[in-house]
Amino acid sequence: MSAITLTVNGRSHTLDVDLTTPLLYVLSDDLELRGPKFGCGLAQCGACTVIAGGRAIRSCVTPVGTMDAADIITLEGLGTAEKPHPIQRAFIDEQATQCGFCLSGVILTAKALLDENPKATDEQMRQAMSTVLCRCFAHVRMLRAIKRYAREAGV
């Protein structure tokens, strides 16, 4: 066990953990965050996605020890029920969710893409979203919400 300080959703946390522990387990078990979900455990479904250092990463395969200096954002770090982040608002307005299991992956992958490339093409958006599995088949509504966010927020 080793002490590590993580900055998650703007707050600093010092934890005593095995540095090889997947970041997802620290976020869910130690910090009690429920945005990132355990899906496949192999970085293939995207349910565990967080933004670290401006990039969408799969927290289920990322050792917590590699996150010491990163600024980590989970779905909870974007907005609140009372004041959702503009991308969350776009998803609400477009009714782009169904079960919600993939939301962390979809929203954070889209946000990271548009933060890096505000003028992403439809093809680039579809390509980025292809890395996140949604079993409810809400992809069309999700893409509408992502485009709406890009248009309205002027990212």
The domain segmentation of the chain, as residue ranges, is 2-77, 86-153
Residue whose pair of structure tokens reads 């958006």 in the numeric block? 125
Q: Can you identify the CATH homologous superfamily of domain 2-77? A: Beta-grasp domain (3.10.20.30)
- Model pLDDT, residue 155: 61
Please name which of 17, 18, 27, 68 lies closest in space to residue 47, comparing C-alpha atoms.
27
- Write out pLDDT tens, residues 77-116: 999 999 999 999 999 999 998 888 999 999 999 999 999 9
Average per-residue pLDDT for the chain: 94
Among 69, 72, 65, residue whose Cα is nearest residue 20: 65
Asked if the model's pLDDT at residue 154 lies above 90, the reply is no
**Averaged pLDDT, 124-128:** 94
CATH superfamily name and code, 86-153: [2Fe-2S]-binding domain (1.10.150.120)
Q: What is the pLDDT of residues 10-49, one digit of tens each?
A: 999 999 999 999 999 999 999 999 999 999 999 999 999 9
